[in-house]
Structure 1
Amino acid sequence: MQTIDTLIFPRWIVPVEPEGTVLEGIALAIDQGRILDLLPADVAPLRYAARQSLQLPTHCLLPGLVNAHTHLAMNLLRGFADDLPLMRWLQEHIWPTEARWVSESFVHDGTQLAAAELIRGGVTCVNDMYFFPDVSARALAAAGLRASIGMIVIEFPSAWATDAEDYLAKGLVLRESLRHDPLLSFCFAPHAPYTVSAATLTRIRALADELDAPIHMHVHETAGEITQFEQAHGCRPLQQLDRLGLLSPALMAVHMTQLDDAEIARLADTGVSVVHCPESNLKLASGFCPTARLDAAGVNVALGTDGAASNNDLDMFSEMRSAALLAKAVANDASAVPAHQALRMATLNGARAIGLGAQTGSLVPGKWADVIAVDLGDLESQPLFNPISQIVYASGRHQVSDVWVGGRQLLRHRELTTLDREMLLARAEHWRTQIATAH
């Protein structure tokens, strides 16, 4: 008999691969941080002696959710400037406030607050884009989360860097210093085509090719952005990116609410991933990402929340439901983006977009044991005919009871194991008082 770390006995397992599969009477074996086996529950105790054994008779095990686009430290600006269109929100409120307050301590405290929210919401992997990525990287690793850290690039100065070359230099130093951390990966994160020059984007493309690194970027977020870009450059932003050689499987194009048929075909041809942020797009009235058309064309579509300043949460359960419902309305087709597809968008598709599809995003032996348990035993989940449908259309993040990343338990019976709840509340109140008093 083999001694292993953990055996989990849930009511159901939804591995995501194969798509739409629901397993019953199956145990999950974890050892040395990875998924070792999925096997009949009655056989598991005969084959493995587990140091920890967990019975979850009303729960469904899933791969941890992947939040493929966010700005974590902006949790400290949750609800700060609501009900405004994107450019007014950015130019009149967010950018001036960031210029005054963003610092190492702001990013540390905001990232920790976000990490707690992510863990309690069943997110095990996050793709972040913000200033002071060195601070956020260490805060996320200390919390035990898997993270893709954006080496942010923008042309104007901030508290983190002075110009595009400085952003790139600091990002590359950070990547080199932490690239052996098993929880961390790195991507280039130019903010958008309208804030990063063609020369800088050309440099980023060359570096991304050299380092085999992804590129994470806001693209085609609003109709107004595209109109202004066309007036300034004589082409649409996506066309500019294509001319510069950025359309490839390395690119994660975020938002993408304004797409024509030719652009969708080009995305499919070049292997670009699209990161859909339905609730942020709805709240800012940015437009509708045509997810059903993208999926039909073969484009990998992932899900992100965007930052809590424009969402106003990091709730991937809510994002799954919104993505599925919005897709049906936009396509005028009730069969568009069924529940199993929405779940794949929030798990495996996100992992693939950030270059971690072989490591996480589904419950497959050999992958990291990034696993969540969702309790489907309460009244609000009854009667239960299909666990996947129930999770996407009728469940919430408050039903996440336990979370593991790389086999390490970060949430146990709804209690955080790596973060101090009272300290997080105190630091959030400190920043609220500071910002509100000065505003």
Structure 2
Amino acid sequence: MSQPVDLVINARWIIPVEPAGVTLNHHAVAVRSGRIVGILPQNDARTRYDARRTINLPDHVLIPGLVNLHAHCAMTLMRGIADDLPLMRWLQEAIWPAESRHVSSSFVREGTLLAIAEMLRGGITTCNEMYFHPDAAAEAFDLLGMRGIIGLTVLEFPTPYASDADDYLRKGLAARDAWRDHPLIGFSLAPHAPYTVSDANLARIASLAAELDVRVHMHIHETAQEVADSVAQHGVRPLARLAGLNLLGDHFIGVHGVHLNESDIEILHRHGCSIAHCPTSNMKLASGIAPVAPLLASDIRVGLGTDGAASNNRLDLFQEMRHASLLAKVSTLDATVVPAHSALRMATLDGAKALGLDARIGSIEVGKEADLCAVAFDSLETRPCFDPASHLVHVAGREHVSHVWVAGEIRVDKGNAVLQLNDTELLGFAGLWQTKFSN
């Protein structure tokens, strides 16, 4: 007797990510109550399951939903506001002044909605977010049905959101309390960077992270100047300083990690830390190329992030997979490093592991939640296809995403977003804020 399920997806190829390097041909995924209950040949699925809905994807590859390990979603409203500047000039001359004039709860909510819609269309089902007004960001993730880990930003200096580190933490923890039981939303502690948070507050955040059992999400070693300034001010490189403050561990996600030497990599390995690699942003800001090959050789988890649309200027993990693979090859002069399956794993399961979500998402396995993405290889530019994993990284783009599910719920259907807000409303937010920035 056939088993009732909510959904059966028949795909030409399935790349489950775990086991590593596997591509399944003409297989199906069965979903019940938001979880994967079967992965099996299509002929077997037809006899085993009685599906309320069946989706046939004859020229598609089905992969886990992509995990964006670092983003500033609301900054989508500042896309392209200050191009062709290095990081500190970009921050000090453009971004921080603009934020001081415009950041508000509505800015964060509407910018985050715009970002989520962009990400879902590009196959991203989980985002590790860092910005102000985490309560407004949570509202956006809830409304559009995307999985989010929302960072509680901490700085020493005042912004329109908070006056000092105590105020940032108080407001952030209140937002966490309000949303803590949401099935798709979690929280992290997000001190901005070693150069913007004091020793005392970093030590306090370390204690809070242990007490609350949450991730710590922080920019580190992004520029050579940051490292030099730390040595001059503290006598040690930033990671050594953080280790001395008990901030590091398998809960720690270091963003960028561009300027890492052997001792830094040893510290990351010893503490079990993760790195969020943002290759496009690092290139655009001329920060450098992260040493991804040595990190992977040291068994350090490396996930992929877009950074914000103000410094990228896309929220596009297909682009990040391609750039991560190519930069690793050209920087080492080794064409074998970061092959396609590895780049896909960085964009899925490794990001999920960094967030502590790998028991729930990041691969297509029975028992996991059905965060899934289908990519169509039925157009001229995707033919012929000899290796679907290679195609994902080196041929396809987010425009080839046809279907997206979050916990079994459809979010993109045949390329069309299925969201609580339509494009007209989302474009209205973008136009409104463009006008405000222009005045």
TM-score (normalizing by structure 2): 0.98
Structure 1 unaligned blocks of 5 or more: none
Secondary structure, counterpart of 1:52 in structure 2:
strand
Gaps of 5+ in 2: none
CA distance in 2 between counterparts of 1:427 and 1:269 reads: 45
Structure 2 residue 433 is matched with structure 1 residue 431: yes
Q: Whole-Å Cα distance in 1 between the matches of residues 395 and 422 of structure 2?
A: 30
What pairs with 1:330-341 in structure 2 (closer than 5 Å)?
Answer: 330-341=331-342
Conserved in 1, the CA contact under 8 Å of 2:151 and 2:190?
Answer: yes
Following the alignment from structure 2 to structure 1, what is the Cα–Cα distance between the partners of residues 50 and 186?
A: 33
User: Contact 2:240–2:267 (CA<8 Å) still a contact in 1?
Assistant: no
Cα distance in 2 between the residues matched to 1:423 and 1:25 = 39
1:199-248 CA-partner distances (Å, limit 9, x unpaired)? 00101100111111110000000001111222221211111001011121
Partner of 1:170: 171
Cα distance in 2, alignment partners of residues 389 and 123 from structure 1: 19
SS in 2 for 1:129: strand
Cα drift, residue 20 of structure 1: 1.1
For 1:395, give the aligned amino acid: A
Looking at structure 1, the residues matched to 118 and 418 of structure 2 have their Cα atoms a distance apart, in angstroms, of: 13
2:118 matched to which residue of 1? 117
- Aligned-partner Cα distance in 1 for 2:175–2:133: 10
Aligned residue for 2:271? 270
Counterpart in 1 of 2:127? 126
For the 8 Å contact 2:239–2:267, the answer to whether it is kept is no
**2:79 and 2:310 in contact (8 A); partners too:** yes
- Deviation per CA, 1:295-337, whole angstroms, max 9, x where unpaired? 0010000000100000001010000000000001111111111
Counterpart residue identity of residue 421, structure 1: D
Q: Find the counterpart in structure 2 of residue 392 from structure 1.
A: 393
Per-residue displacement from partner, 1:8-44 (whole Å, max 9, x unpaired)?
1010100000111100121000110111110110111
Determine helix, strand or coil for the equivalent of 1:25.
strand
> Is 1:232 aligned with 2:233?
yes
- Aligned mates of 1:189, 1:355 — CA distance in 2: 16
Partner of 1:36: 37
User: Any idea what the Cα deviations from partners look like across 1:374-415, whole Å, max 9, x if unmatched?
Assistant: 001111111111000011001100000110000000111111
Q: After the TM superposition, which residues 63-78 of structure 1 pair with which residues of structure 2 at under 5 Å, given as runs?
A: 63-78=64-79
Residue number in structure 2 paired with 1:261 = 262
Task: Report if the CA contact (8 A) 2:275-2:302 is conserved.
Answer: yes
> Which residue is equivalent to 2:366?
365
Q: Secondary structure at the match of 2:309?
A: coil
CA distance in 2, matches of 1:420, 1:378: 27
AA in 1 matched with 2:266: A
Q: Which amino acid aligns with 1:396?
A: G
* 2:288 alignment counterpart: 287
**Counterpart residue number, 2:182:** 181
State the Cα distance separating 1:159 from its structure 2 match: 2.1
Aligned mates of 1:388, 1:31 — CA distance in 2: 27
TM alignment of 1:10-29, pairs within 5 A: 10-29=11-30
**Regions of 4+ moved over 6 Å:** none
The DSSP-based 3-state class of the residue aligned with 2:357 is coil
The TM-score normalised by the length of structure 1 is: 0.98
The DSSP-based 3-state class of the residue aligned with 1:301 is: strand
- 1-side partners of 2:290 and 2:150: how far apart? 24
Secondary structure of 1:194's match?
helix
**Residue 131 of structure 2 aligns to a residue in which SS?**
coil
Q: Equivalents in 2 of 1:28, 1:321: separation in Å? A: 27
Amino acid at match of 2:282: N
- The SS at the match of 1:79 is coil
> Which residue is 1:243 aligned to?
244
| 2:141 corresponding residue in structure 1 | 140
Tell me the residue number matched to 1:306.
Answer: 307
Q: What amino acid sits opposite 1:405 in the alignment?
A: V
Find the aligned partners of 2:143 and 2:362 in 1 and give their Cα distance.
Answer: 21
The corresponding residue for 2:350 is 349
Letter in 2 for 1:350: G
Which residue of 1 is the match for residue 407 of structure 2? 406
User: Quick check: 1:326 aligned with 2:327?
Assistant: yes
Amino acid at match of 2:429: R
Q: Percent identity over the alignment?
A: 52
Letter paired with 2:422: D
State how far apart, in whole Å, the 2-side matches of 1:205 and 1:262 are.
22
Q: CA deviation at 1:108?
A: 1.1
Tell me the amino acid that sits aligned with residue 68 of structure 2.
Answer: N
Contact 2:6/2:31 (CA < 8 Å) preserved in 1?
A: yes
Equivalenced residue count is 437
Q: What is the distance in 2 between the residues matched to 1:108 and 1:179? A: 18
Q: In the TM superposition, what are the counterparts of 1:42-81 in structure 2 within 5 Å? A: 42-81=43-82
Instruction: Indicate yes or no: 2:154 matched with 1:153.
Output: yes
Q: Is the 8 A contact 2:371 2:405 kept in 1?
A: yes
In structure 2, what is the Cα distance between the partners aligned to 1:19 and 1:141? 32
Q: Which amino acid is 2:18 matched to? A: E
Task: Quote the Cα distance in structure 2 between the aligned partners of 1:340 and 1:414.
Answer: 24
- AA at the equivalent of 1:66: V
TM-align CA RMSD: 0.8
Structure 2 counterparts to residues 203-222 of structure 1, below 5 A? 203-222=204-223
Asked whether 1:223 is paired with 2:221, we answer no
Q: In the alignment, residue 428 of structure 2 is paired with which amino acid?
A: A
Q: Deviation string for 1:235-264 (max 9, x for gaps)?
A: 111110010111210100000111111211
